[in-house]
Amino acid sequence: MSECLTLAERSRVIAPSATLAMAAEARRLKAQGLDILDFSVGEPDFPTPENIQEAAIRAMRAGQTHYTPPAGIPELREAIARHYTEQERLPTRPEQVVVSNGAKQAIHNALMAVCGPGDEVLIPAPFWVSYADLVKLTGADPIILPTSETDGFKLRPGRFLEAVTPRTKLLMLNSPCNPTGAVYSRDELIALADAVLTTRVGILSDEIYEQLCYGEARPTCLAALRPELADRTITISGVSKTYAMTGWRIGWSVAPLAVAKFMADLQSQETSNACSVSQYAALEALTGPQDSVQAMRQAFARRRQLVLERVRRLPGVSCLPPDGAFYAFLNVSEHIGRVLAGRPVTHSTDFCLAALAGAQVALVMGAAFGTEGYARLSFATSEETLERGFDALERFLSS
C-alpha cells in the first residue's frame, strides 16, 4: 500500500457487516450455478406497494429531483411528527424529526450527536450487527450486556443498573429485535425505563420493526411511556421494513430539539438530504392506504408459523417463537463440537458455513450478533423456499 494513503486509526474499529458478508458468499455460490436457499437477507421480499411507486413517479415528473432541506421535506417531517403525536401519543414537533438515508444513517447521526471518546454505550446482546461498530466510530466504547434465551433475550432493569458507570452515556434498545424477534411488553419496557430514569443515561430506541408484531405482541413507543423520557430518548424508525422499501433509503430519528438540530447539521455536511424522490414515496407510504402493510404482516405471520413447525422437526435445533420482525434465532448449540459437512463445528460461523456447503442453505452466524451458539434465519422469503430450505436442513442435520 502507498505510504501516503495509510489508513486512519478508525479503520481498525470497523468490520464489514457480517450479514452482508454472508449474503455475498451465498451470491458467489449462486453465481457458480448452485441453488442456494437464502435465509440470510434482512429485507422483505415483497415489491414496494404500487401506490408508493406511483407517488415516486409523480414526484419525479413534477420535478422533485433536486436538493431538499437536509433534514427532509417539510411535508414528510410533519407527517412523521403527526404519526408520533396522534398514534404513539408522543407529542412531537416537525423540527424534532430528521429524515435520513435509512434508519442506519439515523442511528449513526444519533450516536455522533451524543457519544464520544470516554463514553460507554450499553448494548444488550444479541444485537443488530451494526450497533457496536457504529458506536466505535464515535470513539465511545460499546459495552455488551448478554441476555439469555431463558429470559426471552430481554434486558432486565437489575442487569441494566449493574452495568451503569459514571461513563455510561446511552442504552441502545431494539424492540422488536433483530435477530431474536423479541418484543418487550409495555410493562417490561416501563420497568426498564423507570430504572433508566434513576440514572443520567440516555436511550436510543430502534423501533424499525414496529409494524411487524405477531399474536398478542404489540409494539411500544418507548419515549411515550413516561413524560420524562422524551427528553432523554432518540427514537429511530423508517419505511424500510414496514413498506418493503429497503432500497429507497428512508429512515428517521425523533430527538430532543438540540440533538435533532445537531443531527441535521451533521447530515448536511456528510450527505445532505435523503433522496428527494424517496422522500415523496415515504410520504405516500405514511399517509396513503395501509392495507399492503396488513397483507405483508399476515404473510410474515403465516411464514413464522411454518418456521416454528419445521424447526421442531430439525435435529438438535430449537428456537424461541419470535414475537416480531421476520427472523428466527435458531439455537444450534447442540451441533457445536460435532463434525458437519466434513468440518469440525467449533462455533456458529462453522455451523453456518457447513449448512451452506452441505445443505446449500444460507443463515447468519450468531457471532455476528454478539451471541455464540445460534444462527439467524430470515423468513422474509416465500413459503416454498422455506419448505425446501427446511427439507435440506433436515436431511443435512440427520445425516
Ligand X SMILES: Cc1ncc(COP(=O)(O)O)c(C=O)c1O
Binding residues for ligand X, rule: CB under 6 A, are: 42, 102-104, 128, 174, 178, 206, 208, 238, 240, 246, 251
Phi and psi dihedrals of 307, rounded to 5?
-60, -45
What minimum distance in Å lies between the beta carbon of 324 and ligand X? 11
Rounded CA gap, 227 and 12, in Å?
Answer: 40
Rounded CA gap, 119 and 140, in Å?
Answer: 5
* 315 within 8 A of 328, measured Cβ to Cβ: no
Q: Which residue lies nearest ligand X, judged by its C-beta?
A: 102
Q: Closest CB to ligand X among 134 and 397?
A: 134
Is cis: bond before 47, omega within 30 of 0?
Answer: no
* 87 within 8 A of 290, measured Cβ to Cβ: no
Q: Closest CB to ligand X among 94 and 181?
A: 181
Q: Closest CB to ligand X among 27 and 338?
A: 27
Q: Among 358, 348, 351, 360, which Cα is nearest to 389's? A: 360
Q: Closest CB to ligand X among 211 and 246?
A: 246
Cell reading at 85: 403525536
Chain centre distance of CA 147: 17
What minimum distance in Å lies between the beta carbon of 237 and ligand X? 9
Q: Closest CB to ligand X among 103 and 363?
A: 103
Angle at 369 between CA 372 and CA 351, to 5 degrees: 45
Cell reading at 359: 445443505
What minimum distance in Å lies between the beta carbon of 107 and ligand X? 6
Q: Closest CB to ligand X among 94 and 126?
A: 126
What minimum distance in Å lies between the beta carbon of 19 and ligand X? 8
Rounded CA gap, 52 and 22, in Å?
Answer: 30
Q: Which amino acid, 367?
A: A
Q: Which amino acid, 226?
A: R
Is cis: bond before 176, omega within 30 of 0?
Answer: yes
Question: Is residue 391 packed enough to be buried (19+ CB in 10 Å), middle (13-18) or exposed (0-12)?
Answer: middle
DSSP 317-360: -EEPPP-BTTEEEEE-GGGTTSEETTEE--SHHHHHHHHHHHH-
What minimum distance in Å lies between the beta carbon of 103 and ligand X? 4
Q: Among 292, 205, 206, 207, which Cα is nearest to 245's? A: 292
Chain centre distance of CA 36: 24
Q: Closest CB to ligand X among 354 and 364?
A: 364
What minimum distance in Å lies between the beta carbon of 89 and ligand X? 23
Beta pairing, strands 168-174 & 202-206 = parallel
Q: Closest CB to ligand X among 104 and 232?
A: 104
Q: Closest CB to ligand X among 212 and 340?
A: 212
What minimum distance in Å lies between the beta carbon of 294 and ligand X? 21
What minimum distance in Å lies between the beta carbon of 245 and ligand X? 8
Q: Closest CB to ligand X among 240 and 381?
A: 240
What minimum distance in Å lies between the beta carbon of 4 and ligand X? 33
What minimum distance in Å lies between the beta carbon of 174 and ligand X? 5
* 268 within 8 A of 236, measured Cβ to Cβ: no
Radius of gyration of the chain (CA): 21
